[in-house]
Structure 1
Amino acid sequence: MARLLAVIVLLIPGIAAAYGIKMMRDSLFGIPVAFMTNMTFQFIFGFVLMVLGVGFFGGFLLRRDQRKGRVQERFQLPPEAEQKKDD
């Protein structure tokens, strides 16, 4: 059940990032999206969706790997954060 929940949590930002890339592509080719009136706003909104989706996905993976100890030394959690995790 936990794995299914994790997949769903990652699927939503992934879809948002993909739709953001599509919106940016469509604005470059001049294809309007129904709810956007201006191509510049469409590109900016698509860029924001892409950055948020990829950022959430990357942060989720980084945090998971930090807990498992699979990251480089510079990405390790500080010692006080590890103590709070144990409480």
Structure 2
Amino acid sequence: MKLMLSRFIAIVILVIPGIAAMTGFLKMKDALFIYMSQHGDDTLTHVSFDWLTFIVGLLLFVLGIGFLGGWIYFRDRKRNYAGPRKKARQAAAQPSQK
């Protein structure tokens, strides 16, 4: 039971940033779509862009994707899934022990 609960908590920790990134993407998309659709409306004299919604969406998107990308990067590094470029760079950074 304890293992199942810990795995559920781990999945929830990964799902929350994914939902935040999705919400951020949708907020940015909606801000752009509303701006573009208002440009086509001839009855409006002044069309303004909703910067607050766009910036909040961008922030949510970057933080969510950054968290997920960092988690994948450190998991792969821990399991030695890093590519040959990364392994060569890590070997050069470590001093040789003789």
TM-score, with normalisation over the residues of structure 2? 0.64
Residues 1:66 and 1:20: Cα distance change in structure 2 (over 3 Å): same
Q: Aligned residue pairs: how many? A: 73
Aligned equivalent of 2:70, options 54, 59, 62: 59
The reply to whether residue 24 of structure 1 matches residue 35 of structure 2 is no
Mapping 1:25-44, distance limit 5 Å: 25-30=29-34, 39-44=50-55
Q: What is the RMSD computed on CA atoms of the aligned residues? A: 2.3
Cα displacement string for residues 13-42 of structure 1 (whole angstroms, at most 9, x for unaligned residues): 0000000001001101228xxxxxx71111
Instruction: Provide the TM-score with structure 1 as the length reference.
Output: 0.71
Larger Rg belongs to: 2
How far residue 2 of structure 1 moved from its aligned partner, in angstroms, is 3.3
Match status 1:6 vs 2:10 = yes
Q: Percent identity?
A: 39
Q: What residue in structure 1 maps to residue 57 of structure 2?
A: 46
Higher relative contact order (CA 8 A, sep 6+): 2
Amino acid at match of 2:12: I
Distance 1:56 1:75, change over 3 A: farther
